A = this chain, B = another copy of it.
Amino acid sequence: MPRWRRRSDARPEEILDAALAEFTEKGFETARMEDIAKRAGLSKAGVYLYFESKEALLKALIEAKMTPIAEQASALAAAGAANPKAALSAFARVVVSRAADPKIIAVPRLVLSLSGQFPEIADHYRRHVVEIARAALEALIAAGVARGDFRAVDPKVAARAFIGPFFFEAMWTHILRGETAFNHPDALVEAQIDLLLKGLEAEPRA
């Protein structure tokens, strides 16, 4: 007998959080609706008042947690027309700090895990999150090239070169549970940025 019942407004959010935790720990199939329910503080049947099925819960989860990275990204890209180098640094810092939060990294992890079984989820995520972010990044780089701040690199290549390392680091630490090579999270950003900007840097005019 829960002391407080009747809080239908907060419930969906609580359930989604519980589901994300269980799905991440045990995988979609292995996670039991009952455990999700318990974790969210209601009964198994209660979950079905808010979500049609386990699969619907999964999809709602992805949807809900598809963070407004898109907005942030394009905001950054726009703001970055003025100073591409600084904007790239800022962008990297945001990515790294978000990737460090297990709650946030959990969603892309789940998407990757389930891409075989639910290709439509992978597609959805790619289109609505990754592609947006990638486009923003490419625009940022293209602006830098246009302004003469960067060498005449192909923005597509440079964007991959830029985002890849952070992506790898996230996998390495969170999924493969490898130890990070950096004592301070910012250290990675600094070092990486330094290296990358070097690669992008326009030749000093003679």
| A8 on interface, CB distance cutoff 8 Å | no
Partner of A113, one of B112, B158, B164, B195: B112
List residues 38-62 of chain A with CB under 8 A from any CB of chain B.
Answer: none
Partner of A167, one of B111, B131, B154, B168: B168
| A13 on interface, CB distance cutoff 8 Å | no
Please tell me if the beta carbons of A178 and B114 are within 8 angstroms of each other in the complex.
no
How long is the Cα–Cα vector from A167 to B178 in the complex, in angstroms? 16
List residues 130-185 of chain A with CB under 8 A from any CB of chain B.
Answer: 130-131, 151, 153-154, 156-158, 160-161, 163-169, 171-172, 175-178, 181
Please tell me if the beta carbons of B24 and A177 are within 8 angstroms of each other in the complex.
no
- Interface size of A by CB at 8 A reads 52
Partner of A157, one of B158, B195, B199, B200: B195
List residues 85-125 of chain A with CB under 8 A from any CB of chain B.
Answer: 109, 111-117, 119, 122-123, 125
How long is the Cα–Cα vector from A198 to B151 in the complex, in angstroms? 10
Partner of A178, one of B30, B111, B126, B176: B126
How long is the Cα–Cα vector from A195 to B166 in the complex, in angstroms? 17
